Amino acid sequence: MSSFERLEGSIRIGDEGLTFNDKKLPFTLHDFWKWSFSNILSNATRGVLAEFIVATATGINIKNVREEWKPYDLETPDHITLEIKSAAYLQTWFQKRLSNISFSTKPTFFWDSSNNEYGKEKKRHAKVYVFCLLHHTDKTTVNPLNLNQWNFYVVATKKLNEYSPNQNSISLKALEKLTKAISYAELNATIKSVIELDNRNSQQ
């Protein structure tokens, strides 16, 4: 294993610092985290936060480093693969009105980081999609760390494929035809029940 692979797969604690000419500079990894990720309302950071939220709800070991290059976002201890999508009514920029809610459902080619090659089939790779909506609408009190401000929608990929096999996105209105909103506390059980139902339907 190369030093790069060890670095890539290691959990950092935050006190690691920048160095120059073998001397430590007064800037730590914790400083970098604060500088780059404090705005958790921004689209990119909110998406990663949504993955973290679902990981904590489903018992995924968060002591392992998040992997970016798998064909799906998360895998539960029960080996259920998950694709996590997030959206919000509020954005970090000035808004005249709340954002319309839609989620990406774009089928993709799987990229294999072990050989730097793409798969030949374009599809949705996870078994289950979890759509995470930060539904709070007051910018003065929005807090993405408050899980009461989130709704979650869980859909088996097979069901999503039957509804919209080639569409690149799904609106909230369309999503609510497929499933109902649930809370953080219901996430783990709902994901399990969705996959169990999907497995039973596949056996019929």
- What percent of the chain clears pLDDT 70, i.e. is strictly above it? 92
Structure tokens that stand for 98 in this block: 């709340």
- Together in a domain, 152 and 105: yes
- Together in a domain, 10 and 87: no
- Rounded to 5°, angle at Cα 57 from 202 and 105: 55
Average pLDDT of 145-154?
98
Main-chain phi, psi angles of 145, to 5 degrees? -80, -15
- What's the CA gap between 173 and 86, in Å, rounded? 15
How many CA atoms lie within 13 Å of 114's alpha carbon, on the beta-carbon side?
A: 4
Gap between the terminal Cα atoms of the chain:
46
Q: Provide the pLDDT for residue 9.
A: 62
Q: Which of 7-11, 26-30, 66-70 has the lowest mean pLDDT?
A: 7-11
- Together in a domain, 32 and 71: no
- What's the CA gap between 87 and 100, in Å, rounded? 9
Ramachandran bin of 116, using left for φ above 0, alpha for ψ from -120 to 50, beta for the remaining angles: left
Residue 8: which pLDDT band, with cuts at 50, 70 and 90? Answer: low
- What pairs with residue 141 in β-bridges? none
- Together in a domain, 43 and 32: no
- Together in a domain, 74 and 2: no
Residue 20: which pLDDT band, with cuts at 50, 70 and 90? Answer: very high
Q: Report the predicted TM-score, pTM, of the whole model to 2 decimal places.
A: 0.89
Domain, as residue range, for 77: 39-203
Average pLDDT of 79-88?
97
What Rg, from alpha-carbon coordinates, does the chain have? Answer: 19
